Amino acid sequence: MMQQIVEQAKTLVAGKMKVVETVEEWDLLLEEIRGIDEWVQMSRYYTPSAKPDIAWSEPEEEVTFEQSVIPPAQINLVIEQRYAYTFVRELKGGSLREWPNSHISETEIRQWNLEHGMEIRVQVVHQDSRRTTLEVMAVVATDRMKPLSERIVFEKCIVKNHGIIESTVEGPLKDETGKSFYYATPVEDMRFFHLKEGQLVDLVMWKGRPETLTIAWKYPFQYEEPTVQLLETSNSPTTSGPSSVEPTHGSAVKKSERYLKQMKRKSKVKQERKTRRIREKKSEPLTPLVTTSLPGQPIDFVDKEPLDFASFEGMRLVIVGNEQQAPVYRTFFEKTGIELIHLSGDAQSAKKIAGLAKKTDAIVVVTSRVSHAASAHVIAQAKKHDIPFAMERLDGRRSLYTACQRQLEKARLNQLKTGKS
């Protein structure tokens, strides 16, 4: 019969494994497997065992001492029936000192508030080859009760995210030496107790053995942060006895509360009015607009005479940026005999200046039509090779040609000083 029950249990588990797809369904499957396991255990407990028929055909023979020795596996322990048994507290749950392989669940201990050394009456709930599960019927005596100093309990520990426990309701989690520590709950205990963030548990361990730290109990409620409300302090002295006068009407209560509020008010000293500071206007002169005109000269008086590039014939000029006007710049400088090289304002094109810098006389960068990376790269090459350069903000033709003329003049003066043609 048990073989049929086992086959049926295997069929049920195999059928339920096929529909598991999510984590929630996996948790439900574990619950159902536990139920199937309990059903198999109960069936094995209540199924009558097949006893072979005893034949009495042969007469009894004398049994020697060697034949009377029974293997240890076949010896049935005889438990002495007692009125009460001594309770022994374990790390999780408990047992009876006079009853080997006995077990009392943590739930029973919590309901009866059992302590180590109590004498209790019990009855058998379930018994198998491993242990005997007992149920407490009554507490008989507590005279031999003593505290178990080897067992350390951390009550009402707060479970945080991912099963991390580092504090209790009263404060941080500390060991017997006063050092703070934290406990990471194993995945098996998380699933067994169905732990979630905010729940309260009890941790237990044997003294001096931190590896035995484990969860013994989970409270059925969650932890909530306490709300503190500050009470209003009264100036009147407090009396030890209860007040003899009690208002009978609601209006009298309101009046008394209003009177107490007025009495608590204190006269506030009027603060002196501070002198207002007046912010003074800044006396710094405004910086003039940077143009191609001479410093301090208004824009209306810019020199309109045609520019002269005849003395710069054969020199090389590099303009960076404003590539839309490249054909116009090329047409203008062809007549002057100046070699013009125009580079676009992106960083990739501006890197070409590294190969042209040694034979370049002057550089002009149109800052409004060039990227920051390209501008920085061109300035670095110009300073490295000591080439005159200008950062022209305006992109008009007149202002650009004027800036080119000034940089070429600087280059010509440098050539005359150094003697290079």
What's the confidence (pLDDT) of residue 323? 87
The answer to whether residue 302 scores a pLDDT higher than 80 is no
Compute CA 235 distance to the chain's CA centroid, rounded to the nearest angstrom. 47
State the distance between the two ends of the chain, measured CA to CA, in whole angstroms: 115
What's the confidence (pLDDT) of residue 212? 93
What's the confidence (pLDDT) of residue 59? 45
Q: Residue 120's closest CA among 96, 103, 101?
A: 96
Band (pLDDT 50/70/90 cuts) for residue 157 is: very high
- The count of other CB atoms within 10 Å of the CB of residue 208 is 10
According to DSSP, the β-strands at 99-104 and 132-141 are: parallel
- The count of other CB atoms within 10 Å of the CB of residue 106 is 16
Q: Are 199 and 223 in contact (CB under 8 A)?
A: yes
Residue partners of 102: CB distance under 8 A and separation at least 6? 95, 96, 122, 131, 132, 134
The answer to whether residue 230 scores a pLDDT higher than 70 is no
Please give the average per-residue pLDDT across 361-372, as a whole number: 90
DSSP 65-100: TTTTPPPGGGPPPPPPP-S-EEEEE-SSSEEETTEE
What's the confidence (pLDDT) of residue 13? 82
- Residues forming a β-bridge with 222: 199
What's the confidence (pLDDT) of residue 177? 87
Give me the chain's average pLDDT, please.
Answer: 79
Q: Which two tokens stand for residue 373?
A: 């990376």
Band (pLDDT 50/70/90 cuts) for residue 393 is: confident
| Lowest-pLDDT choice from 11-25, 59-73, 391-405 | 59-73
Alpha-carbon separation of residue 75 from 78, 173, 180, 313 (angstroms): 9, 48, 50, 121
Please give the average per-residue pLDDT across 415-421, as a whole number: 78
Phi, psi of 232 (to 5 degrees): -75, 125
Containing 221, the helix (H) or strand (E) segment is: strand 209-222
What's the confidence (pLDDT) of residue 75? 42
Q: Which two tokens stand for residue 341?
A: 């090289």
What's the confidence (pLDDT) of residue 47? 64
What's the confidence (pLDDT) of residue 264? 67
What's the confidence (pLDDT) of residue 65? 40
Residue partners of 388: CB distance under 8 A and separation at least 6? 361, 362, 363, 382, 407, 408, 410, 411, 414
The answer to whether residue 56 scores a pLDDT higher than 70 is no
Tens digits of residue pLDDT in 233-248: 555 444 444 444 444 4
What's the confidence (pLDDT) of residue 133? 94
What's the confidence (pLDDT) of residue 253? 52
Exposure string over 31-44, b if 16+ CB within 10 A, otherwise e: eeeeebeeeeeebe
Q: Which residue has the tokens 């077990």?
A: 103
Alpha-carbon separation of residue 282 from 63, 82, 239, 289, 349 (angstroms): 124, 102, 66, 19, 44
Alpha-carbon span 199 to 223, nearest angstrom: 6
What's the confidence (pLDDT) of residue 4? 78
Alpha-carbon span 267 to 116, nearest angstrom: 64
Band (pLDDT 50/70/90 cuts) for residue 81 is: confident
Band (pLDDT 50/70/90 cuts) for residue 67 is: very low
More confident residue, 344 or 262: 344
pTM: 0.39
Tens digits of residue pLDDT in 113-141: 999 999 999 999 999 988 999 999 999 98
The answer to whether residue 39 scores a pLDDT higher than 90 is no
Alpha-carbon span 218 to 327, nearest angstrom: 84
What's the confidence (pLDDT) of residue 57? 42
Alpha-carbon span 162 to 188, nearest angstrom: 13
Exposure string over 337-375, b if 16+ CB within 10 A, otherwise e: ebbbbbbbbebebbebbeeebeebbbbbbbbebbbeebb
DSSP 153-220: EEEEEEE-GGGEEEEESSSB-B-TTS-B--EE--HHHHHHHT--TTEEEEEEEETTEEEEEEEEEEEE
Please give the average per-residue pLDDT across 80-95, as a whole number: 89
| Lowest-pLDDT choice from 31-40, 196-205, 220-229, 301-310 | 301-310
| Lowest-pLDDT choice from 21-25, 31-35, 264-268 | 264-268
